[in-house]
Amino acid sequence: MSYLSPVRKIFIIFNYLLFIAFSISILVPFINAIAISLSNYEALATGKIGLWPKGFSLKAYHELAYSKQFLRTFLNTVGLTVVNTVLTIALSLAAGYVMAHKHLLGRSALFIYLIIPMYFSGGLIPTYLLVNGLGMTNTYAALVLPQIISIFYIIVFRNQINQLPQELMESAEIDGASEWRILWNIILPLVLPMTMAFVVFSAVAYWNEWFNALIYIRDRQLWTLQLQLREILISASQFIDQQTQEALIGGEPRVHPENIKMAALMLTVLPIIIVYPFVQKYFIHGQLVGAVKG
């Protein structure tokens, strides 16, 4: 066993205590939210819900499951997340490969051209005027087209492909492989860890998208899940429709607004929590691979 100095031991103990306290600060509110979502109306009315539900009830989840608006926003978000993530990664990888290609003329000038808008954007108002001028307001296109180009991803892919042995691409060219075949069969497997890390980053970002929907979308049928969650958190009591209220007055279990809020919150974060463990390994391999270099 290697010898640890007293200072080193104190440092390790301090680190453990710090991370334990940090983990508790995250887990306690999350567990409390789960307990609130599973408690009944009477328990919530007293306001004494801790880390364990009181008067176990799934009524809030039942209300959300039978809400056409909530289900519609859920499906909208799933579709937009899949489409945006696939397009973002595909376009970024293809553009990165093109910029790293030895036969591309003016690569340095094109690199500078891409760097500038990465740091200096047009701003919210010009972007809104452009989206509105193109007739994309209140359509799915407003939630897809303005977001699918990531200059950062393009530059990272370019730098990573530049670091690959050029002999691999040259041998494929000699064998008559097309550019698409080289990209798909040679480049992609070599940069797969980094690609998967970017897939996770993009998917989480698009899943949590709400601001663009707030700016560009007026039709509630086109809302994203996060925008619907915002509406629920602001006015949860209005989420329960009139027919439900009448049924509750008739003797069925009542639903507290806090039930609806926390149940919606759990259903919103649950897909990410389920998917994350399966893709976590890619973070170690791909998060910092191909760091931006000039």
Least confident of 21-35, 45-59, 239-253: 239-253
Residues 77 and 118: beta-carbon distance below 8 Å: no
**More confident: 248 or 77:** 77
State the pLDDT at residue 294. 42
Q: Per the structure, how many domains does the chain have?
A: 1
The residues, ordered by sequence, that sit 6+ positions from 127 with a Cβ below 8 Å of its Cβ are 121, 146
pLDDT band, residue 246 (cuts 50/70/90)? very low
Would you state the pLDDT for residue 242? 45
Residue 83 lies in a domain: yes
| Residue 21 to residue 10: CA distance in whole angstroms | 16
Residue 53 lies in a domain: no
Q: What is the pLDDT of residues 121-155, one digit of tens each?
A: 778 888 889 888 898 999 999 999 888 888 899 98
Q: Which amino acid is at 284?
A: I
pLDDT for 93: 92
Give domain status of residue 180, yes or no: yes
Domain that holds residue 136: 59-294
Whether residue 247 is contained in a domain is answered as yes
Quick check: 197 pLDDT over 50? Answer: yes
Which pLDDT band holds residue 170 (cuts at 50, 70, 90)?
confident
Q: 287: burial class by Cβ within 10 Å (0-12, 13-18, 19+)?
A: middle
Q: For residue 52, is it within any domain? A: no
Residues ≥6 apart with Cβ < 8 Å to 93: 153, 157, 183, 187, 188, 191, 195
For residues 237 and 258, what is the distance between their CA atoms, to the nearest angstrom? 9
Residue 218: count of CB within 10 angstroms of its CB: 9
Evaluate if residue 75 carries a pLDDT over 60: yes
Which residue has 């005027």 as its token pair? 129
Q: How confident is the model at residue 2 (pLDDT cuts 50, 70, 90)?
A: low
- Domain holding 154: CATH number? 1.10.3720.10
